[in-house]
Structure 1
């Protein structure tokens, strides 16, 4: 990645300034405890040569250092992803802005293609999209998506924020989509509007 050299050098020079999220700290601690327990079990079972206190401490120190580097890398990955995605969005916006005429042709073609579909197919597509994003079972999908986004950017996975988002945003989306569908279908397809109303009663 293009930001690896810059952020990697900063992380090496300032290891204590890399703030770890609560989730990364928990994972770090769990892995260390699992390694420590495994080392003790192997020592008691005689699966490894007897370890002196100094050797045991050395092995644990090596594991701690390894886990700290991995955790720091995970924390930096969030910043790298944020910067890379920001540049990608800016580049995409620039491409769209300088190719507005192409976008207009694509939009006109999409409208013609959609209008050529039969009314039941149009209604099926509308219901499929609305149920997928704002339906009864969409909460689990939103939760997985939001947790994935938080992990991608190295943000804490706050259940309160996620549940607040799910309780508000899909409801607003549902209202907007239903209003748009009603306006669109009544304007371009009265039969489709009647089918949609019957299927949602």
Structure 2
């Protein structure tokens, strides 16, 4: 019995898209099942298979996502943070990891200087001596240097910790191929089992967020955050080239998926999508 369940799960997980739409094939399969005298036993076995598939998928998602995140945070907090901070603060004479940090630091210090001069002009600063102003500028410069030194150290920690997480993530995918097939089948059945309106809504939501006319601003914020996370220079030319090419490639891949797969499996969902998108 257990072997039969596992065999059925593997076949269900590796199911491919056929020429006949799945909705029509399901209709004939349902009519055939209703005439089967062993319908109750097969329904019970199918319920066991679906239950096993759901539990295995949830467990695999938990392991696939939570484990790399936990390893990332633990390695940064207890291993990388003490070691890198020690070597960076004691053996490294650099404050900035790249030119973008230096430009931001100088701009922040310049704004602080302009603020002090403005307070002097409007009379809010009681002590207007050059010694006091120089002291305030020195304190601010040291504060900025400490902040960007920590940011540079965190960038090195992020690179190493994320590398460890990626290795762990790929290792889980390689070691647990069978669970990945079950998860893939579970997600496909869940997505293709939605109503046509729900499918069209999700398609429009996805395309508007990632490849819509207002998405470049979001991509710019995401790319800047990623570059700062890894301590890379915030090159505006690279950001603009990425924004002008990647969403186009993503939109092309998504349209190909609609034409190649979704149009064969659920043509009514594609028609609903086009009607809602007009």
TM-score range, shorter chain: 0.7 to 0.9
Please list, as runs of the form range in 1=range in 2, the aligned pairs for 1:110-125 lying within 5 A after superposition.
110-125=187-202
Q: Verify the 8 A CA contact 2:95 2:148 in the aligned structure 1.
A: no
Structure with more contact order per residue of length (Cα contacts < 8 Å, sep ≥ 6): 2
Answering whether residue 115 of structure 2 is matched by residue 3 of structure 1, we say no
Who is 2:179 aligned against?
Answer: 102
1:65-124 deviations in Å (ceiling 9; x for gaps): 333222211122212111111111111111222222222222212222222211222122
1:79 aligns with 2:79: no
Q: Distance in 2 between matches of 1:193 and 1:27?
A: 48
For the residues of structure 1 that align with 2:202 and 2:161, how far apart are their CA atoms? 33
Number of the residue aligned with 1:47: 126
Distance 1:135 1:5, change over 3 A: same
From the superposition, tell whether residues 198 and 23 of structure 1 become closer, same or farther in structure 2 (CA, over 3 Å): same
Whether contact under 8 Å (1:21, 1:155) holds in the other structure is yes
Quote the offset at 1:56 in angstroms. Answer: 6.0
In 1, the alpha carbon distance for the partners of 2:137 and 2:215 equals 44
Cα distance in 2 for partners of 1:145, 1:97 equals: 29
Work out the number of aligned pairs and report it. Answer: 199
Q: In the alignment, is the contact (CA less than 8 A) between 2:227 and 2:233 conserved in 1? A: yes
Deviation track 1:130-185 (CA, whole Å, cap 9, x = no partner) reads 22111111111111111111121122222211111111111111111101111122
Distance 2:116 2:208 in 1: 51
| 1:167 lines up with 2:244 in the alignment | yes
Q: Judge which range, 161-170 or 107-116, deviates more.
A: 107-116
- TM-score, normalised by the number of residues in structure 1: 0.82
Gap runs ≥5 in structure 2: 1-76
Report the 3-state secondary structure (helix = DSSP H, G, I; strand = E; otherwise coil) of the residue aligned with 1:82: helix
Looking at CA atoms only, which structure, 1 or 2, has the larger radius of gyration?
A: 2
| 2:104 corresponding residue in structure 1 | 27
Q: Is the 8 A contact 1:11 1:18 kept in 2?
A: no
Gaps of 5+ in 1: none
